Structure 1
Amino acid sequence: MSEPALHVAATSGDIASIKKRIAEGAKIDARDGSGATALLVATHANQVEVAKALIEAGADVNAKDNIEDSPYLYAGARGHLEILRMTLAHGADLKSINRYGGTALIPASERGHVETVRTLIEAGVDVDHVNKLGWTALLEAIMLGDGGERHQQIVALLVRAGANVNLADGNGVTPLQHARSGGYRKIEAILLAAGAH
């Protein structure tokens, strides 16, 4: 099966071709072999203008591929902020989850995407959602982060948003214990100030 023309144009950022194909009646949410729509392909490549054209033409920001990624979830996980904001403005499902059972906030926190985390919190994503691994955004920011400035900012944002600082992982290890075992003094201080034990 050859790749749909809309997907090829989305990958290359060919905005003129995208607009022409939409005008000609191309199926906006057609899938490729991986189950991805053209909007997800554009999101993978962080093709902002293409994503904008597709979203404005009615592309589904929540359409998932074969591995349960959607344009909204992928943009959040990868810190593609402009596309994320467009998906949020066009009906992103804040409760949708990825293949790990996590919201967009969890991988964004882990990967150190400060502005993305801020945007998702402001949008109303559940800060205490627990994924299939038994981890929250706060736990992932500490356990899988590097303890550096970006992760410190993310921990502070999550705490300010009301994240439960004592919600332990599946093994009963708390965020504070993870911060201490990582030697992350500044994160430890943020947690202690928020009543962590």
Structure 2
Amino acid sequence: MLTRLTVLILSIVLYSFFYVLTAPGWFYIKDTPLACAIKQNDPHTFNSLLETEDFEIKDGSGNTPLSIAVDEVNYNFTKELLEKGANPNARSDFADRPIICEAASRVCYPRFNRSKDTARDIVKLLIKYGADVNARTILGETAILRAARCGDAKLSTILIKNGANVNIFSRQGVPLHQAIYKSRRSKSYETIEALIAGGANPRVKNYKKDYGKTAIDLAKGYNDLKLLKILEKSNSTASLSSYTSERTTLTYKDRRIESILYRYGIYLPAYKINFITKYPFLFIILMLPTLIACLTGVVKKDVFLITAGALQPHIIVAGFILILFIGDSS
């Protein structure tokens, strides 16, 4: 029987092996010529390559030239690529990130000497060319949640005016709660006011991080009278509909996975379950050591499944795979 130390060593070896195999440059060209021109901010080479190269070819990390231009906060390159027909809703193969979320991140965390105003202009440009403002990352985050988390009222307003769902749920909760956390440090309420004006519901409960507390509960807990007055201005009737509507997108196979996990006290939102069914072999490779540990008795199945809900998504997936391999004994 395998010991815990053996399982640990095996885990390290397999994780390292998987990391090396998926590192940029093994199965892809590390950087395409067009990607290099963007990163080096070389307009002459960029313009010449734009006429001859396929601008949808991805680099070793699975990024398109457009996503690289956005990450570099290069407005001119971004505009030229979009004018040529680059897809503003393309996603990175490696991290499955929407481009608009990357653009929002660059507003919050500018690179080098790039200005936040330029990053906001890029967000506007992406929206103009059809970017989905409610596109999610694999963790369920959207651009509005990132804007709220960094307390950028201007970006929040831009996104709201273009249809961003201010009551959307993610692994981090809802945007309003994130804006409140930020306001505690920055002492600024502009982002909160923008979200409330855009229809954010202060009565929506955040089960992800705050034990079911609403934004009003947080304000009362902080004894923040100014925040309470802002929240009381809300006339929003939004509820959990944005979340329940997401759950209806599950396929029959996804619903079966959801019911099995739920039986063991493990709850996953729809976007995670959809991701599981999209990339099952990735999770099998990652969690092979854990599966071996369970199958050999180093870790008990029941204990493993009960505690899985508090752990990372890929460990939860391992629990599901384990059920499929050795049967549902509940």
* TM, length-normalised to structure 2: 0.55
Q: Does 1:179 align with 2:239?
A: no
Q: Which residue, 45, 65, 89 being the options, matches 1:38?
A: 65
Q: Which residue of 2 aligns with 1:161?
A: 198
Q: Give the secondary structure class of the aligned counterpart of 2:66.
A: helix
Asked if 2 retains the 8 angstrom alpha-carbon contact of 1:10 and 1:38, the reply is: yes
Size of the aligned set, in residue pairs, is 193
Counterpart in 1 of 2:146?
Answer: 107
Q: Matched residues in 1 for 2:180 and 2:101: separation?
A: 21
| Aligned counterparts of 1:172 and 1:59: Cα–Cα separation in 2 | 42
Matched, 1:15 2:43: yes
Q: Is the 8 A contact 1:63 1:70 kept in 2?
A: yes
Give 1:140's aligned amino acid. Q
Distance in 2 between residues matched to 1:16 and 1:180, nearest whole Å: 57
Matched-pair contact (CA < 8 Å) for 2:199–2:235: no
Q: CA deviation at 1:142?
A: 1.1
User: Aligned partners of 2:122 and 2:148: how far apart in 1?
Assistant: 17
1:41 & 1:104 partners in 2: Cα distance? 17
Q: Is the contact made by 2:199 and 2:234 (CA closer than 8 Å) also made in structure 1?
A: no
Structure 1, unaligned runs of 5 or more: none
Partner deviation per Cα, 1:23-57 (whole Å, 9 max, x = no partner): 12x11111111111111111111111111111111
- What residue in structure 1 maps to residue 106 of structure 2? 78
Instruction: Tell me: CA distance 1:62–1:145, structure 2 relative to 1, closer, same or farther (3 Å).
Output: farther
Runs ≥4 in structure 1, deviation > 6 angstroms?
A: none
Which of 36, 49, 52 is the aligned partner of 2:79?
Answer: 52
User: Distance in 1 between the 2:138 and 2:229 partners?
Assistant: 33
Q: Secondary structure at the match of 2:203?
A: coil
* Structure 2 contact 134–143 (Cα < 8 Å) conserved: no
Percent identity over the alignment? 23
By how many angstroms is 1:185 displaced? 4.1
What do the CA deviations read for 1:42-73 (whole angstroms, capped 9, x no partner)?
11111111111111111111111121223222
Which range is displaced more, 49-58 or 136-145? 136-145
Determine if contact 1:15/1:49 at 8 Å carries over to the other structure: no
Change (3 A) 1:192 1:54: same
**Greater percentage in helix:** 2
Kept in 2: contact 1:143–1:178 (CA 8 A): no
Cα distance 1:109–1:5, how it changes in 2: closer, same or farther (>3 A)?
same
- 2:232 corresponds to: 192
Per-residue deviation, 1:177: 2.3
Pair 1:116 & 2:155 matched: yes
Residue in 1 that maps onto 2:180: 142
Q: For the Cα contact (< 8 Å) 2:200–2:234, is it kept in 1? A: no
CA deviation vs aligned residue, 1:77-132 (integer Å, no higher than 9, x gap): 33221111110010101331112202210011111222111100000111111113
**How far did residue 162 of structure 1 move?**
1.2
Once residues 186 and 68 of structure 1 are traced to their aligned partners in structure 2, the CA distance between those partners, rounded to angstroms, is: 39
State the alpha-carbon separation in 2 of the partners of residues 115 and 2 from structure 1: 36
Q: How far has the Cα of 1:146 moved from its partner?
A: 3.6
Maintained 8 Å contact 1:13/1:42: no
Aligned-pair Cα RMSD in Å:
2.0
SS across alignment from 2:57:
coil
3-state DSSP of counterpart to 1:116: helix
After TM superposition, the score normalised by the length of structure 1 is 0.89
**Which one-letter code corresponds to 2:205 in the other structure?**
A
